[in-house]
Every structure is written in C-alpha cells, then in structure tokens.
C-alpha cells in the first residue's frame, strides 16, 4: 500500500494535507478551484471520499453553484460529498476532460443522495467538474471568431467591471438604419450559464439569416452577454448577491457598472424604436417547475398579452430538441413571481416594460440540465436559441 498526499488548495489560501491510500499510484492528487469560474471549499478527505461545499462568498442565504479541478487522479474512483441538500442537477455534475473546452453530463446514475462518484480515466492528467455546463468569455470569443467579418455583427464594450474587465456589448442585425431595436441580456446571475448557449443560438440565427432575412435587415439588437462579468469569470453565485444582485439593480441609482451603463445607453435612444427586450436566465438546478422552459409574466397586462402572443408563435415555429410549452409560463402573482420576491427592487424585466415604445418585455427561464425530459446541452440550448430567433422575427414582422 502506498500512502500519498492529497493537496487541497484554494485561491483564498485555504490549504490542507491528508494521507490517502491509493494502491500503487505514486503521484499527488490536487483539488483546486484555480480555473475560470472556479468555486469550491474542501473540508476533508477520508480515503477516496472528499467532503466539499460551494463557496457562497457575498451571497445572501444559500445557493448551489460550484466548480473545481482535480489533477493527478488518473485511474482512481473517488466520491465527492456535499453537506445537506445536494447541489446537483437531475443529470449529476458536468465533466470536462479537455480543460473546459467541452462538457458532458455525468448522468443521474452518478448521484447517490448528496454525493457523486467518478472513475478517472487512465492517463488523463486533469478533470474539471461543475454543477452546470459553463460559458465564459473564452466561449464568447470563439463565437465571435466564427463570425468575424460579418456585416451583421459588431463587438464593443459597454463598460468596465469593478475589477477592470471589459463588459462586452454586441450590436447585431441592421447596424445602419434599423426600423426596430431590441435588447437581449444574460447572466444577471453569474452562474446561469445554459442561458448563454441559447443566447448564442439567437445571435447565430440572426447573423446567418437562418431566423429569416427580415429580422437582420430591419432590427438592431443590443446584446450584453455577461451582465455580471466579474461574477462569471470569478465563479460567484451571482444570485442574491449582497446588497442586491444585478437583476435587482434597475430602480433608483444602479450600483453595478453594467446595469448603470445599459440604462444610460437606452435613455439616449431618442426615436422610441425599442420594441423587444428579453432577459435570459436559468431557474433552480432541478425540481418541479424548474425543468421546463417558461416565460415570467409581467405585472403590466398589455405586456403580458404580448408575451402570450409571442409564446404562441414560439410554439408554432420551434423545431429543435428542447420543447417549449406556453402552459408552463409563470403569470404575475403566481409562484415566486410576486412583489414579495423582488423586495421592493426593480428587475430588468420591470425596467424594460417601462421603456417608450416597448411591446415585449420578459424573462425566459431555460433549465440547467433537463427540459421536459430532454437533456439541456450546449448543442440543444443553441438549437433552442435558433428557435427563439425565428419566433422573434415572426413576432416583430407581424
């Protein structure tokens, strides 16, 4: 029997050493969160079982996001155990064997109560785990590279984050003289990454024309892919950030740079052409009501009527693997969609509904792992984005 150290490190200088029996393996196993979006606290190691939990940082209450890297564990079978309610999706954790470029769901069979078990492939030096399939600045950069030179896409910067990062702003569609303007946003809550793949699908549908030429020839989209840019890259929860998160920052004086800049930019549009505003989110990772795609209803009856009309269009044009049903929408006053939930603060959807000329203003919730029993992956989420783009075109043209 060979006994070797397991190195547990965090960027916040947490470290510990534990002796672990590993048969004939002779290299140290390292567990850390020093990766884009990294977030983990390692509490203990007992043989092949590692006790871990998510880092809540400045989150009010509890939330579920975590992501970490394991190095030097080739050939081992290890269990990662969480305390209390397991922060795991219906398909278990997402796993990457290529340093975060691609991800696959490990599967429901990997879950046992509040833990998951993984057998590390032989000769694989590094494996990354995450509660979801991540989407970072590097993913957006690859998308922009694929469409470099398109006359229908221009990348710029909305503002600088508190930590000095560029908060990207894209202009998509007719960039010269649009008849209609629209706003698309994502990642008001940093961890809600599957929504980013659907946003990418929308953008591809516009740029390539697969959503219809009318849309890109008549509409200019202002797109902010990462409203909480620092949170996305640092691996924060983002949801319920103290003193309030980005999606509760649209009333009074905004405290977050991206929200402040977006509001200021919109206020300078003098022509009243803004007709459409959609904010892309993800709900809780699993459970009843969280594994269906749905729109969040507005307190304004005229806006809600337009959301219902758009919903019917989306039902009629969708062709991808993720199926949306209007019956799953959450009207205002039901479930969590109440004044009590906003605590007197204003969300993007509430702000957008007040803009001059606006017709459609809503949030769409795209599940993390399963939607109507179908797996949500980078590919299926992008395909749903193309369905959304097609529906937006039909809605705005009509």
Residue 369, pLDDT score: 97
Distance (Å, whole) CA 87 – CA 15: 23
Statement to judge: residues 244 and 350 lie in one domain: yes
Distance (Å, whole) CA 51 – CA 92: 16
Q: What is the dihedral of CA 52, 63, 282, 94, to 10 degrees?
A: 0
Residue of 284, 300, 170 lying closest to 224 (CA atoms) = 170
Residue 178, pLDDT score: 95
CATH of the domain at 317: 3.40.630.10
Residue 367, pLDDT score: 98
Statement to judge: residues 169 and 213 lie in one domain: yes
Statement to judge: residues 126 and 154 lie in one domain: no
Statement to judge: residues 107 and 220 lie in one domain: no
Statement to judge: residues 27 and 155 lie in one domain: no
Statement to judge: residues 241 and 214 lie in one domain: yes
Burial of 24 (0-12, 13-18, 19+ CB in 10 A): exposed
Q: How many domains does the chain have?
A: 2
Distance (Å, whole) CA 51 – CA 49: 7
In the numeric block, which tokens belong to residue 168?
């990207």
Q: Strand 153-160 vs strand 166-173: parallel, antiparallel, or unpaired?
A: antiparallel
Statement to judge: residues 208 and 283 lie in one domain: yes
Statement to judge: residues 116 and 191 lie in one domain: no
Residue 8, pLDDT score: 55
Q: Which domain holds residue 232?
A: 137-397
Q: Please report how many Cα atoms fall inside a 13 Å half-sphere around the Cα of residue 166, on the Cβ side.
A: 11
Q: pTM for this one?
A: 0.94
Question: Quick check: bond before 243 cis, omega within 30?
Answer: yes
CATH of the domain at 107: 2.60.40.3120
Using CA atoms, how far residue 113 sits from 82, 140, 179, in Å, is 9, 35, 54
What is residue 323's DSSP assignment?
P
Handedness of CA 352, 181, 258, 296 (dihedral sign): positive
Last residue of a domain, one of 130, 160, 175: 130
Statement to judge: residues 100 and 249 lie in one domain: no
Statement to judge: residues 343 and 370 lie in one domain: yes
Statement to judge: residues 286 and 189 lie in one domain: yes
In the numeric block, which tokens belong to residue 58?
């400045």
In the numeric block, which tokens belong to residue 114?
């509040």
Residue 6, pLDDT score: 55
Residue 272, pLDDT score: 83
Neighbour order of strands in the sheet with 166-173: 153-160, 166-173, 219-224, 180-186, 274-281, 360-365, 294-296
Q: What is the pLDDT along the chain (398 residues), one digit of tens a residue?
A: 223 345 554 443 233 333 333 332 335 899 999 999 999 999 999 989 999 999 999 999 999 999 999 999 999 999 999 999 889 999 999 999 999 999 999 999 999 999 999 999 999 999 999 999 999 999 999 999 999 999 999 999 999 999 999 999 999 999 999 999 999 999 999 999 999 999 999 999 999 999 989 999 999 999 999 999 999 999 999 999 999 999 999 999 999 999 999 999 999 987 889 999 999 999 999 998 999 999 999 999 999 999 999 999 999 999 999 999 999 999 999 999 998 888 899 999 999 999 999 999 999 999 999 999 999 999 999 999 999 999 999 999 98
Q: What is the DSSP string of 203-247?
A: HHHHHHSTT-HHHHHHEEEEEES-TTHHHHHHT---TTBSS--GG
pLDDT tens digits for range 178-196 = 999 999 999 999 999 999 9
Last residue of a domain, one of 85, 100, 130: 130
In the numeric block, which tokens belong to residue 257?
């740079």
Statement to judge: residues 164 and 84 lie in one domain: no
Last residue of a domain, one of 71, 100, 130: 130
């Amino acid at each position: 029997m060979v006994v070797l150290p397991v190195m547990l490190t965090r960027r916040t200088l947490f470290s510990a050493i534990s002796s672990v029996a590993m048969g004939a393996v002779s290299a140290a196993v390292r567990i850390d969160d020093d990766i884009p979006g990294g977030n983990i606290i390692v509490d203990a190691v007992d043989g092949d079982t590692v006790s871990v939990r998510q880092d809540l940082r400045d989150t009010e209450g509890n939330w579920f996001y975590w992501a970490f890297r394991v190095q030097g564990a080739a050939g081992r079978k290890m269990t990662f155990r969480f305390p209390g309610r397991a922060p795991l999706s219906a398909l278990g954790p997402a796993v990457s064997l290529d340093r975060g470029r691609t991800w696959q769901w490990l599967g429901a069979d990997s879950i046992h109560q509040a833990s998951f078990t993984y057998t590390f492939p032989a000769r694989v030096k590094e494996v990354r785990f995450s509660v979801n399939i991540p989407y970072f600045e590097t993913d957006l950069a690859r998308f922009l590279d694929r469409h470099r030179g398109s006359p229908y896409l221009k990348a710029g910067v909305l503002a600088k984050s508190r930590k000095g990062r560029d908060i990207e702003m894209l202009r998509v569609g007719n960039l010269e003289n649009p008849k209609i303007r629209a706003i698309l946003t994502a990642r008001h809550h940093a961890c809600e990454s599957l929504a980013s793949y659907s946003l990418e699908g929308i953008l591809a549908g516009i740029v390539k024309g697969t959503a219809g030429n009318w849309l890109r020839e008549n509409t200019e989209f202002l797109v902010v892919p990462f409203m909480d840019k620092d949170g996305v890259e640092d691996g924060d929860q983002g949801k319920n950030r103290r003193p309030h998160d980005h999606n509760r920052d649209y009333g009074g004086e905004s405290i977050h740079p991206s929200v402040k800049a977006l509001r200021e930019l919109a206020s300078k549009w003098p022509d009243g052409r803004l007709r459409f505003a959609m904010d892309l989110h993800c709900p809780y990772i699993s459970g009843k009501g969280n594994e269906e795609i749905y729109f969040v209803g507005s307190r304004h009856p005229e806006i809600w009527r337009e959301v219902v009309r758009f919903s019917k269009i989306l039902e009629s044009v969708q062709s991808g693997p993720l199926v949306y049903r209007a019956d799953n929408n959450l009207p205002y006053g039901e479930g969590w969609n109440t004044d009590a939930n906003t605590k007197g603060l204003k969300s993007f959807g509430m702000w957008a509904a007040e803009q001059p000329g606006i017709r459609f203003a809503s949030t769409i919730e795209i599940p993390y792992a399963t939607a109507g029993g179908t797996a949500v992956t980078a590919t299926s989420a992008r395909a749903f984005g193309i369905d959304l783009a097609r529906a937006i075109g039909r809605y705005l043209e009509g």
